[in-house]
Every structure is written in structure tokens, then in C-alpha cells.
A and B are shown apart, each in its own frame.
Chain A
Amino acid sequence: MTMEPSVHAEVVETWLARAATSRSTRSLLRTFETTLCAVWSCALGTLGAVTMNAVADRVLANAVERVPCFGSLHPSVVGHLRCYELRLQSRLGAVAFGELAIGIRSTMIELLSLLGSLTADLLTPELHAQLAQLPAREREWHRAALGVS
């Protein structure tokens, strides 16, 4: 049986609570991007790039309808891996933190639910594990960027 969306919602909300502690729009966006890439990498080996591109495009198209500022999300290919960069620099000031958090929450839930539904939840435990690790990884990334060991 496929997991109910509420199971994914619980995981996403826990992740979001950790990611949004600073209430910084820029930091939240970066965590979102890192999370998308991690989820992507995790599912890519099983589903393949063509399927993953199609899935991500669908979810992000829906996200734009819910959160207009996501219209600035541009897919780009990094090596063999397609990541989603947020090109919101020029509009950061206009994006409310609350609106962004709501958009990110619903997008992540939809992505996890969809990947769960397409794979009979085969990937769900690993994807949830990725979210559980990510804020910690984000801190590591910041430290590495600043040259702090």
C-alpha cells in the first residue's frame, strides 16, 4: 500500500522546521535546492534521468501555480545531474518568507508523494532519510564554503 500523503507531510514539516530556524529566505532557498538535488540523486539510480526530469518538471509546474515566485525556478543541467537552481536574487526582497516556506512545504510533499506513488514506496524510506540528514549537511556545506573545518 502506498503511504498516505500525511506521512510525507510529517517528514517534510520536521525537515522544514529545522531548515527554517534562521528565518532567512536565502538560507531556506539554499536548503531547498540542496534537498531537491539530494532527493534527485537518490531516486536517479532507480528511475533514470528521463523519468526524473519528467517528474520534477510536473511537480515544479504545479508549484509555480501555487507559489508564483517559483516561476523563477529554472532547471539546469550540472554534469549528468539536473539540479534546480533558484534564480531569485533580483526578487529576494519581494518574496515573503512565509509564502516561500508554504510553497516549499507543498512542493516537497508533492514530490515525495509522487515518487512514492510511482515506485510503490520502494524509495520512500531512503528519501525520508535524505531529508532527515539535510540541515546537518547544509551546515557542513556552509562550513566548507567558509573554509572552517
Chain B
Amino acid sequence: MRPGARLEDLYAVSRALVGYSSVVRALRDTFEIVSRSVALASIVVIDQDRDEPGIVSYPDLDEREPAAVAALAHARWASAYLTARERSAWHGIPNGGYIVVPLVVSDGEIFGVIQFEGAKPLTRDAVKFLNVVGNQLAIALDRDRTSRRQAHDAIGLREQMLASVSHDLRSPLSIVMMAAGALEAAMPPSGTTAIQKIQRAAQRMERMIRDLLDYASIDAGQFSVNPRTQDVQSILAETVAGFEATAHVRNIELEMVVPDGLPPALCDRDRILQVTGNLIGNALKIVPAGGLVVSRADLRNDQIVISIVDTGPGVAKHDQSRLFERYWRGVHQYQGTGLGLAIARGIVHAHGGEIWVDSELGEGAAFRFTLPIAKAARPRTEPAMPEP
């Protein structure tokens, strides 16, 4: 190796790690530089500073290969032991010629490892170099971690403030609504148009405030439901009835399909009405005139599946996983105000259910969620659930 080449490579590693906004995006460049300097068979990084440990390997390790299995097992063992995630990790050390550098910054706790496997036995200089690379990576990951935490804290603060402001807005808004109602009653019919506008605007504000407070409660893990035995057909019928006028104006057909003998659900009626209302309301905003929105309930795997199926533009596959994130608004805005689906997910999760969308772009969408069956009414048969 040319004198000074390794130092140059170390500079290059530093440049790569500070040159990206996220360290993960710099890893491949970093690994290529390191592999140029030291002949390596594999590199494995395990970052345990997450709910699920992040594992990155270079080259991409094929877990069917025994060497890859051994390398990953050793890295996992080392990480579990060094981060004290698993006391038993010390027993049964897999053999191997790996260099492991704990991911740690000065006076911090170890949060993972980077493991290098030499293509041939490594020299002391190579090991020193790899240790410094590991230290640099740890500093870069720690910087990322700090940024993530700061962003998370900032979001938390914002949500807290929103919740607080929303709560404070409720009282004056109630006064506006009551006063508008009193004025409406006192005015002749010809003079109530402006008052009705005030009332509609105040009702919209009230819904937005309710959404913000609901989301704040879900986000804080303080959201609770009051489940009771409920007839699913009546929930869907009530929701559909609430949207009939809107559907009529927009020339959209509303249908409801509930099979005979569907057992009751164990749920919080008002909250599930909120979910179905949100889903049907979104569908009505997006389905073109002449379209159809079907609300249906079915039985599948000992659960009730409620589906709101529409003939709208559908949701692209890559957007489907983000649809239930707060404030995410897709091209066609099934999301509405940006919080509705996030709240719907929170409500469904609070019932122990799941919510998802089945859709192909241009072919409509089926928003579905599950509810538990009320225990006294476990079914004997399970009719098949049709596709949208």
C-alpha cells in the first residue's frame, strides 16, 4: 500500500459521512472506501438504537450462505452482548476472525457494532484503521440520532401546543355557536343566510378541533374506547343516512350490504361511527358524479371486516402505506384534512383491529378495518368476503 494511502482513505470516509444528510445514505460509499484500503470479505453494521435493530451488510449478505449466516450471527451476538440487550449472549460465542468495533461515543452507551471480516488475516495497522472508521461511524450515527430526537421533540412540542390551543378554542367557539343559534331564532327567515354561514363555519371549526384533540390523545397513548355489543348493520345504516343528502347532490349512489346473521361487534359505537363517517365522507369527496360508494360488513377469521368500497381514482401502491400517516396528503386526497385517516387508525387500533386499503390506481379503492366479534355471539359459518 502506498504510504499515506490509508490516511487519505480515512479522510475520504470522514468526507463521506459528513457529506450526506443521513448516515445510512453514506454507508455504501464508506464501505467502498474501507474495502479499497483493507481487503475485506464482509462488513455488518447493527444499530440497536431503534425498536427493531437496523442491520446493514456489505456486500449484501445472502443468508443462505454459511459464511453470511456466521458473520451475521457473530455481529448479532457482539451487539447483544455489548449493548447488554441479552445477558445470555456471552455463552456460545460463534468462532470467527472478525474485527468488531462497538458503536459508541465518548461517555455514551454502546448502541450497536460494526463488524469487519478480513479476506485474509489483518495486520495491526489495518485493525487500528478499522477501529477509527468504526469510531467515525459512531459519531456520525450519534449525530443522526440526536437530530432525530430533536425533530421528534419538536413535533411533540408542536402537538402539545396544538392540543392546548384547540382545547382553549372550544369554549369561545361554543359561545359563537350558541349566539348564532339564538340570533337565528330571533331573526326573520329572510335574514338568516349569513347566520347559517356562521353556523356552518363554526361546525367545521368544531370538527377540526375535535380531530386535533383526538389525534393528540392517540399520539400521547391516552386514547381509550368504551366497547359494548353493537349491531354493525345499524352503525352502517346510521352512517349512510348521514351522507344521503350529500351523495344525492353529487349524483353518487350509496349502497349498503350486510349479510343476514352477521354477529354483533364489540366496539365503541360513537368512535366507529367516526371511522365509517370519515371513510364514506372521503369517498364522497373523491368519487366522480355517477359513481358508487358501497358500505359493507363481512365475517372473516373470527372478525368483522367493515369495508367502504368506492369507484374513485384509487390509491397507488407506493402511497398506500403512507395514507394513514398524519398530515400526509396523497394526489387525490383521500386523506381529507390530513388527520382523519390517522385518527381512524388510532380508533381501530384501540379496538385491537387493523385498518388498510386495497386498491389499484384507476380502479377504485376498498378501505377496510376489522372489529372483534362480541364474545357471546361467536359465529359458526364464515361467508366469503368479495373483492372490491
Contact = CB atoms under 8 A, between A and B. Distances in A.
Given A58-B82, A117-B78, A118-B101, A46 B134 contact: no
A58 B84 contact: yes
Nearest to A1: B95
B100 A122 contact: no
B107 to A, nearest CB: 8
Contact of A50 (B98, B105, B128): B105
Contacts of A58: 81-82, 84, 110
B162 interface: no
Q: 8 closest Cβ contacts across the A-B interface?
A: A120-B97, A54-B104, A118-B100, A54-B102, A1-B95, A54-B110, A2-B95, A46-B128
B93 to A, nearest CB: 6
A5 interface: yes
A46 B131 CA distance: 8
B97 A1 contact: yes
26 contacts: A1-B96, A1-B97, A2-B95, A2-B97, A2-B98, A5-B93, A46-B127, A46-B128, A50-B105, A50-B138, A51-B102, A51-B135, A53-B106, A54-B82, A55-B102, A58-B81, A58-B84, A117-B78, A118-B99, A118-B100, A120-B96, A120-B98, A120-B121, A121-B97, A122-B99, A122-B122
B11 interface: no
Given A54-B82, A120-B118, A122-B124, A48 B110 contact: no
Contacts of B106: 50, 53
Nearest to B118: A120
Nearest to A116: B93
Interface of B: 78, 81-82, 84, 87, 90, 93, 95-102, 104-106, 110, 118, 121-122, 124, 127-128, 131-132, 134-135, 138
A78 B138 CA distance: 25
Contacts of B101: 51, 118
Interface residues of A, number: 25
Contacts of B122: 120, 122
Contacts of B84: 58, 61
A129 B127 CA distance: 20
Contacts of A121: 97
Contact of A119 (B82, B99, B138): B99
A48 B133 CA distance: 11
B105 to A, nearest CB: 7
A23 B192 CA distance: 100
B104 A51 contact: yes
Identify which of A2, A5, A114, A118 gathers the most chain B CB atoms within 10 Å of its CB: A118
A56 B324 CA distance: 46
A5 to B, nearest CB: 7
Contacts of A110: 90
Contacts of A54: 82, 102, 104, 110
B74 to A, nearest CB: 8
Nearest to A5: B93
B134 to A, nearest CB: 7
A62 B118 contact: no
Contacts of B95: 1-2
Given A50-B104, A50-B138, A58-B110, 20 more contacts: A1-B95, A1-B96, A2-B93, A2-B98, A46-B127, A46-B131, A50-B106, A50-B135, A51-B102, A51-B134, A53-B104, A54-B82, A58-B84, A62-B87, A113-B93, A114-B81, A121-B97, A122-B122, A122-B124, A122-B127
Contacts of A2: 93, 95-98
A55 B131 CA distance: 13
A47 interface: yes
